Amino acid sequence: MPLIEDWKLWFCAAVLGVAFAVRNLRKKGGRKPVGPLALPFIGHLHLMGPVPHRSLYKLSQRYGKVLLLQLGCRPLLVVSSASLAEEVLKIQDHLFAHRPRIHFVELVFYRSRGAVFMELTPRWKSLRKFYAQHVVSPHCIVASKGIRHEEMQSLLRRLRLCTSGGSVDLRNAISDWMLNVMTRVLFSERADDRDKMLDFPEVFHELSDIFTVPMLADFIPYLGAAVDPGGIQKRLLREQARMDAIMESIVCKRLEQISSDPSSTPKDVLTSLLQFEGRIPKNDGVQEAPNTTPDSEGNEAVKAVVLELLAATTDTTTAAVEWAMAELLSHKDTALEKLKLEIEGCMEGKETSQVNEELLCRLPYLEAVMKEALRLHPPASLLLPHFTKEATKVAGCTIQANTILAVNAWAIGRDESVWKEANQFKPERFLPGGSDANISFEGHTNFQLLAFGKGRRGCPGRSLGMVMASLVVANLVHNFELRTSQTPDLTEKMCAANMLANPLHPNLYSRQHPCTKTAT
């Protein structure tokens, strides 16, 4: 009898124990997202493929819109729906708004001293404030209009040299324009001024190229220190040293100029930045950074910010233009014709064929074209990597501390449960009366349209990026007949941004407009 009672007692205790453990597990841990099997050491690295947003999209179709992968030693959470994007970029933004440390960024951007890859610190906050006041405010955008106008004149001149039907490397031409505009806005020099800027464009493009190569040191650190496949680390160190020398000379020349002849100092972003970093006395408009750089660290913080603004702007905006042009050339008889007519209507009676920035607000179809191109082809297709230092739950799944977050903006932009004819290029959807007339990049809603991200880490340069990209598209469409022998190949390639694998090389012909002179 005592034996039986003992047995019953043990049985009850065991059942209670298991129930208690399961309840605790649920309470503490929740479930884990289902995902593919991980390989030893590399985890799921081999599944990322050459175009990661497409590989992750396929995985999400099989395993669900919340995926947990292992890239070497680093856990990666991937979300692929607008509602999940809202959960991580709005509801849990305070947790996921950090950035992971990345080998390339640590080296090229001086231990992540710019805002883009900085953790959420008071310095990040004050840098964002600096950008908002001195780089991308409506006042700054208007103030730098003249630079974009002059550079557009020279781009149009350059392209007109090819208008006897010669083919032109459109990406090169656009990216040179972006770089020249931004270097002039930032530090008043043209990027292609060889005397002052040396090999800047070449080194800049080399570094953009290296950025796309996954670094072993990021995922398998113990191997990464010893092995350098393809000599990529060596190449990175060489190009970083070249870029550092160019940046150092720009900053040093400016400091010399300020000390020898303060009255001739350009009022550009570099001057405000030197004040912000406490390198020169501040004037009334500039607030100093909270932890102003000690002199021992020289000009590093300044160089990091200048370089990151060039990197954040050039490839993304160039990609936006290239995708818009590729889609327009794929829809010649519809979208392209409609856009030509809209611009012609606005340009009627104008003396020149150069479309100026003030006209952009009168071109709603152009805005719809740019939105549609960015919906289908967001240049940062997975945004930039976010990072949580704390454990949390997303959609009921346990996410451990130190997990990287990727938001698949590309997949969300094509989600058929949210967008009508999701894979079709239909700018009309964004026009008044269209199915998505109220969807915009701004604000804390519309997580289905994510080309600029959302939340704390959302892109501060959205308005400037849209102005620059729209201006180039409007001028290309209005001034030239662009012909391609075949419909453009829309295959993608991951470069520093999501780009066309085969850049456009259209044949150019001048378009003649009655009553207008060509821009000089």
Beta carbon nearer to ligand HEM, 118 or 216: 118
Closer Cβ to ligand HEM, 201 or 413, answer by number = 413
Helix (H) or strand (E) holding 404: strand 403-407
Displacement of CA 405 from its chain's centroid (Å): 15
Identity at 301, one-letter amino acid code? A
Answer yes or no whether residue 452 interacts with ligand HEM by CB under 6 A: yes
- How near is the Cβ of 471 to ligand HEM at its closest, in Å? 12
Tell which residue, 475, 452, 382, 353, has the closest CA to residue 56: 382
Helices (H), 331-376: 337-347, 364-376
Name the closest residue to ligand HEM (Cβ): 461
Q: Does 496 bind ligand HEM (CB under 6 A)?
A: no
Please tell me whether 459 is known to bind a ligand.
Answer: yes
Q: Which 280-319 residues touch ligand HEM, going by CB under 6 A?
A: 309, 312-313, 316-317
Number of residues that bind ligand HEM (CB under 6 A): 27
Select from 305, 309, 299, 190 the least CA-distant residue to 255.
299
Contact region for ligand HEM (CB under 6 A) — 68-76, 258-266, 397-405, 447-455? 447-455
Sheet with 74-79: list strands edge to edge. 66-71, 74-79, 403-407, 386-388
In terms of CB distance, is 387 or 425 closer to ligand HEM? Answer: 387
Chosen residue from 35, 43, 201, 379 binding ligand HEM by CB under 6 A: 379
The minimum distance between CB 183 and ligand HEM, in angstroms, equals: 13
Listed in sequence order, the DSSP H helices in 135-280 are 138-143, 145-160, 170-187, 194-197, 200-211, 216-219, 221-224, 232-260, 269-276
- CA atoms of 97 and 362, how far apart (whole Å): 36
Region of 23-31, 355-363, 380-388, 480-488 interacting with ligand HEM (CB under 6 A): 380-388
Residue 380 binds to ligand HEM (criterion: CB under 6 A): yes
Strand order in the sheet with 480-483: 164-167, 507-510, 480-483
Asked if 457 touches ligand HEM (CB under 6 A), the answer is yes
Cα three-residue angle 57-60-62, rounded to 5 degrees? 115
- Nearer Cβ to ligand HEM (68/135): 135
Query: Does 464 sit near ligand HEM (CB under 6 A)?
Result: yes
Distance from C-alpha of 427 to C-alpha of 436, rounded to nearest angstrom? 10
Site for ligand HEM in 198-257 (CB under 6 A): none
Regarding 384 and contact with ligand HEM (CB under 6 A), the answer is: yes
The C-alpha atoms of residue 181 and residue 151 are separated, in whole angstroms, by 7
The minimum distance between CB 104 and ligand HEM, in angstroms, equals 16
From candidates 215, 250, 326, 459, binder to ligand HEM by CB under 6 A: 459
Residue 200 CB neighbours (<10 A) = 23
Beta carbon of residue 185, minimum distance to ligand HEM (angstroms, whole number):
9
Is 469 one of the binding residues for ligand HEM (CB under 6 A)? yes
Give the residue with the Cβ less far from ligand HEM, 217 or 324. 324
SS3 content of the chain, % helix, strand, coil (to 5): 55, 10, 35
Q: Which stretch binds ligand HEM (CB under 6 A): 14-22, 31-39, 432-440, 454-462?
A: 454-462
H-helix or E-strand containing 53?
helix 52-63
Q: Report the alpha-carbon distance of residue 316 to residue 181 in Å, rounded.
A: 14
| C-alpha distance from residue 489 to each of 58, 79, 125, 513 (Å) | 21, 28, 42, 30
- Cβ distance to ligand HEM smaller for residue 69 or 451: 451
Query: Measured from the CB of residue 83, what is the shortest distance to ligand HEM in angstroms?
Result: 17
Q: Is 135 in the site for ligand HEM (CB under 6 A)?
A: yes
Q: Which of residues 153-192 bind ligand HEM (CB under 6 A)?
A: none
For ligand HEM, the closer of residues 135 and 347 by Cβ is: 135
The residue (of 125 and 282) whose beta carbon lies closer to ligand HEM is 125
Please report where in the chains the tokens 């297709």 appear, as a residue.
381
Interface with ligand HEM, residue 59, by CB under 6 A: no
Residue placing its CB nearer to ligand HEM in the complex, 404 or 469: 469
Between 383 and 412, whose beta carbon lies closer to ligand HEM?
383
User: 165 in the Ramachandran plot: left (φ > 0), alpha (ψ -120 to 50) or beta?
Assistant: left
- Residue 67 and residue 403 in contact, taking contact as beta carbons nearer than 8 Å: no
Q: Does 116 bind ligand HEM (CB under 6 A)?
A: yes
Q: Is residue 460 involved in binding ligand HEM (CB under 6 A)?
A: yes
13/35 Cα distance (integer angstroms): 35
Known binding-site residues equal 459
Known binding-site residues for heme equal 459
> Residues interacting with ligand HEM, by CB under 6 A?
115-116, 128, 131, 135-136, 309, 312-313, 316-317, 320, 379-380, 383-384, 451-453, 457-461, 464-465, 469
